[in-house]
Amino acid sequence: MNTKDKGFNSKLIHAGAYEDANGSAVNPIYQTSTFKFKNADHGARLFAGEEKGYIYTRLGNPTIEELENAVAELENGYKALGTSSGMAAVNTVYLAFLKKGDHMISHNAVYGPSRGVMETLYPGLGVESTYVDCTDLDNIKKAIKPNTKLLYLETPANPTMGITDIEGAVAIAHEQNILVCVDNTFCSPYLQKPINMGADIVLHSMTKFINGHADIVGGIVIAKNEELYNKLKYVVLNVGFNMDPHQAWLTRRGLKTLAIRIDRAQENAIKVAQFLESHPKVDWVLFPGLKSHPQYELAKKQMKGPGAMISFGVKGGLESGKKVMDNVHLALLAVSLGGIETLIQHPASMTHSKLTKEAREKAGISDELIRLSVGIEDVDDIIADLDHALSFA
């Protein structure tokens, strides 16, 4: 079905779907590693790119393509490539656009391993990086060097909820021919469309909101044009970052309810953030939907809604925070985010523990910061759970 002129929810249900030989409402999983050729010449034509068809699942598979086409359309991109994980998507971008002698600028509070891998593995490949607070566009300008090739943004940032002005950052980067990639994991295309704001590449950990059910790990990278897509495709196909068909099928299923899941989680998150902000044992709350958020106005302009991620600090610091985490009963004390269940975790000792304490402090990831991914349970139950846990703080 051509869904190009349809609304977002119609796209969520139907985008990317192809006609199956048996007319199935939901296409089957092509759980196969390889595809038969009709004859030797047919195989040769497929390899030569003279005829469209499937060869081998690392190089392409109908189930994976259905998901890729759907997400590319939702992000308003040219095409997308599914990857085995969000980290595979991150590394696809790094490997496709950074070579020996190149430099990358990024926000100082991105997902821990997105920064960790850049600072650990890539210097050995001759790639250098500078991490600054990109919520202040002047810091991006100052960090640009003659060899800067990539501006890698994550907004809202994990876990500080810092928001970077995508249009403003794109204007600065494009003036110097620097590509802009946005990790859109915290928003999903339902709340934010970076390509519409000028970004060149968008990526997701689909483990989070896109799949939404905490039952797969996966990633995707979306390019705004064919040239960028071909560079990304070379990495995914040849490094072997590809998805598995079963993982893609589950993700396509999860994607169908993205908007109604986010609507519900976000509605809950607004109430939870207000509850936390008014709680006597809570020191501070960072949530883009609260007027107290430093980029509240920018969030309103750039995002369709504030999302469902909240960071907060408890009075008494880390020791108090640990008591809160150890006394939740409904929320799960677990990493990951963007699923239907409420999750609570401690970035300094968990998701961002591999960064140095100095790097964390510079990025605003204080030891006391607790991160909450609000789910779609009854909000009264979520609030009662947190209220009870806070009584131990």
Secondary structure (3-state) at 74: helix
Provide the mask over 131-170, with x wherever binding to ligand LCS is found by CB under 6 A and - wherever it is not. Answer: -----------------------x---x------------
Question: With contact defined as beta carbons under 8 Å apart, do 338 and 308 qualify?
Answer: yes
Distance CA 160, CA 311 (A): 7
Instruction: For the CB of residue 44, give the shortest distance to ligand LCS in the complex, in Å.
Output: 37
Active site residues: 58, 111, 183, 208
Provide the mask over 259-298, with x wherever binding to ligand LCS is found by CB under 6 A and - wherever it is not. Answer: ----------------------------------------
CA dihedral 170, 171, 173, 177 (to 10 degrees): 110
Instruction: For the CB of residue 193, give the shortest distance to ligand LCS in the complex, in Å.
Output: 17
For residue 57, which of 38, 93, 30, 96 has the smallest C-alpha distance? 30
Helix or strand (DSSP H, E) at 296: helix 296-302
Of the candidate spans 10-18, 99-107, 292-300, 332-340, the one that interacts with ligand LCS by CB under 6 A turns out to be 332-340
Of the candidate spans 23-31, 238-246, 247-255, 333-341, the one that interacts with ligand LCS by CB under 6 A turns out to be 333-341
Secondary structure (3-state) at 270: helix
Among 86, 156, 162, 306, binds ligand LCS (CB under 6 A): 86
Question: With contact defined as beta carbons under 8 Å apart, do 33 and 63 qualify?
Answer: no
Among 69, 85, 92, 247, binds ligand LCS (CB under 6 A): 85
Instruction: For the CB of residue 234, give the shortest distance to ligand LCS in the complex, in Å.
Output: 21
Of the candidate spans 91-99, 139-147, 238-246, 335-343, the one that interacts with ligand LCS by CB under 6 A turns out to be 335-343
CB atoms within 10 A of CB 137: 15
Output DSSP code: residue 350.
Answer: T
Distance CA 378, CA 393 (A): 24
For residue 339, which of 236, 268, 285 has the smallest C-alpha distance? 268
User: Order of strands across the sheet with 79-83?
Assistant: 79-83, 219-223, 201-205, 179-183, 148-154, 103-107, 128-132
Instruction: For the CB of residue 353, give the shortest distance to ligand LCS in the complex, in Å.
Output: 11
Query: Which residue reads 């295309």 in tokens?
Result: 189
Number of residues that bind ligand LCS (CB under 6 A): 18
Of the candidate spans 48-56, 82-90, 139-147, 324-332, the one that interacts with ligand LCS by CB under 6 A turns out to be 82-90
Q: Which is nearer to ligand LCS, 46 or 262 (CB)?
A: 262
For residue 109, which of 161, 178, 185 has the smallest C-alpha distance? 161
Among 336, 341, 362, 388, binds ligand LCS (CB under 6 A): 336
Question: With contact defined as beta carbons under 8 Å apart, do 140 and 134 qualify?
Answer: yes
**Is 247 near ligand LCS (CB under 6 A)?**
no
Q: Which is nearer to ligand LCS, 148 or 247 (CB)?
A: 247
| Binding positions for ligand LCS, 188-227, rule CB under 6 A | 205, 207, 217, 219
**Is 73 near ligand LCS (CB under 6 A)?**
no
Q: Which is nearer to ligand LCS, 102 or 183 (CB)?
A: 183
Secondary structure (3-state) at 312: strand
**Is 111 near ligand LCS (CB under 6 A)?**
yes
Among 55, 335, 340, 384, binds ligand LCS (CB under 6 A): 335
For residue 168, which of 143, 198, 212 has the smallest C-alpha distance? 198
Among 64, 140, 179, 337, binds ligand LCS (CB under 6 A): 337
CA angle in degrees (0–180, nearest 5) for 376-380-386: 90
Q: Which is nearer to ligand LCS, 279 or 352 (CB)?
A: 352
**Is 332 near ligand LCS (CB under 6 A)?**
no
Secondary structure (3-state) at 244: coil
Instruction: For the CB of residue 84, give the shortest distance to ligand LCS in the complex, in Å.
Output: 8
Distance CA 326, CA 138 (A): 41
**Is 242 near ligand LCS (CB under 6 A)?**
no
Question: With contact defined as beta carbons under 8 Å apart, do 293 and 161 qualify?
Answer: yes
Residues at the interface with ligand LCS (CB under 6 A): 85-87, 90, 111, 114, 154, 158, 183, 185, 205, 207, 217, 219, 335-337, 351
